[in-house]
Amino acid sequence: MRRLGELEAEIMDRFWRWSRPATVREIVDDINRLRDVAYTTVTTVTTILFHKGYLTRAREGRIWVYRAAATREAYAAALMADGLDASEDRPAALAAFVRELDAAELAALREALSWTDAPADGRR
């Protein structure tokens, strides 16, 4: 999975923060509070994000309403997996990554790893 471009990331950030469907008009209006961007540009990039699988869409009357296809966390996890795939020594790359974590991140990692020992039905 490749990293999102600047405008792609701005658009996806809104979907992830809002946690709801949105139209291109809503995205354009929100971005334009910070900087100018053309409606047609956002339409093009949103369509590209849909075709890449980052967004889903449904018709509401004559307009498309978009929604994030996955969470921000799922996107970050896919980027991390790709980073590990780039190494010839995945365990060494993983160890290097873990060495960069702060105490809170290490605690979160330990918590996440504790779930790998959970029974298949999810009960602890």
Is residue 18 located within the same domain as residue 58?
yes
pLDDT for res 122: 56
Cα(101)–Cα(22) distance, rounded to whole angstroms?
35
Q: pLDDT for 90-104, tens place per residue?
A: 999 999 999 999 999
pLDDT for res 73: 95
Is residue 86 located within the same domain as residue 48?
no
Is residue 53 located within the same domain as residue 12?
yes
Q: How many domains does the chain have?
A: 2
For residue 124, being part of any structural domain is answered with no
Q: How many CA atoms lie within 13 A of 65 on its CB side?
A: 8
- Domain residues for the domain of 45 are 6-68
Is residue 17 located within the same domain as residue 60?
yes
More confident residue, 124 or 35: 35
pLDDT for res 120: 60
Which of 72, 69, 43 lies closest to 55, judged by CA? 69
**Total length of the chain:** 124
Is residue 124 predicted with pLDDT exceeding 80? Answer: no
- With tokens 């020594």, the residue in question is 89
8-30 mean pLDDT:
98
- Domain final residue, candidates 50, 68, 86: 68
Q: pLDDT for 44-69, tens place per residue?
A: 999 999 999 999 999 999 999 999 99
Q: How many CA atoms lie within 13 A of 23 on its CB side?
A: 10
pTM summary value: 0.81
- Domain final residue, candidates 68, 84, 105: 68
Amino acid at 103: A
- The C-alpha angle 77, 70, 29, rounded to 5 degrees, equals 115
Is residue 54 located within the same domain as residue 95?
no
For residue 122, being part of any structural domain is answered with no
Number of Cβ within a 10 Å radius of residue 22: 18
Cα(1)–Cα(88) distance, rounded to whole angstroms?
18
Number of Cβ within a 10 Å radius of residue 105: 11
For residue 97, being part of any structural domain is answered with yes
Both tokens assigned to 24: 């291109």
For residue 24, being part of any structural domain is answered with yes
Is residue 123 predicted with pLDDT exceeding 70? Answer: no
Is residue 29 located within the same domain as residue 49?
yes
CATH number of the domain residue 49 falls in? 1.10.10.10
